[in-house]
Amino acid sequence: MDAARPLLPFMRVTQTCERDGFPLIAIGDETYCSVEYADGLIGGQQVIGVWEDAGVIRLLFSSGYSLALTCPCCGGGLHLRPRTLADIRLLLNGRVLEGFRHGEWVGKETPPKRHPIFALQFAGAEERNERTIEVSLESVRSLRREDTANLMPNA
């Protein structure tokens, strides 16, 4: 049996990092451990801005990098747990990104669609699930250095 082929056709094969089990992602011509890549750019950083760009909410971190909050099921804007730009701004502005988790989003159709989840966990006194944002791996791929001088002043 082919090891790269799942036993059930609706299951997705996701390659994982041998060190920590997080999904591997391709960025350009390179393959990275998703958590090591994200942690190196935004881990332990404070959210200093939140804005919307082409229907997707982006977070700006004190390191100068921004990350798009993408839906785990489709890679577009967040819609599974609807939160407005104002909600996200109120929740995350000034918070430190304290950790990452991973899991799997499973759809309700038959057979269910399955997609990896990359979760951003922020510091705070609330319950962990209230200060954790689940996104797709597209969010990790979206990490980019921002020219903070050209961002909107209310970001």
Q: Residue 65 domain-assigned? A: yes
Contact 60, 48 (CB under 8 A): yes
Angle at 131 between CA 134 and CA 126, to 5 degrees: 150
- Output b/e per residue, 21-32; b: 16+ Cβ within 10 A: ebbbbeeeeeeb
Tokens encoding 97: 């990104």
Q: Residue 141 domain-assigned? A: yes
Q: What gap in Å lies between CA 65 and CA 147, rounded to an integer?
A: 9
Domain ranges, residue 142: 34-146
Asked if omega into 6 is within 30° of 0 (cis), the reply is no
Residue-wise pLDDT tens for the chain (155 aa)?
A: 444 544 444 445 578 889 988 999 999 999 999 999 999 999 999 999 999 999 899 999 999 999 999 998 888 888 767 788 999 999 999 999 999 999 887 878 888 888 888 999 999 999 998 899 999 999 999 999 998 776 654 54
Q: What gap in Å lies between CA 152 and CA 155, rounded to an integer?
A: 5
Q: What gap in Å lies between CA 85 and CA 60, rounded to an integer?
A: 13
Q: Residue 3 domain-assigned? A: no
Q: Into how many domains does the chain fold?
A: 1
Q: Residue 152 domain-assigned? A: no
Q: Residue 102 domain-assigned? A: yes
pLDDT at 125: 93
Q: What gap in Å lies between CA 20 and CA 96, rounded to an integer?
A: 22
Contact 46, 95 (CB under 8 A): yes
Q: Residue 138 domain-assigned? A: yes
> Model pTM?
0.83
Contact 37, 140 (CB under 8 A): yes
- Burial (CB count <10 Å: 0-12, 13-18, 19+), residue 48: middle
Q: Residue 52 domain-assigned? A: yes
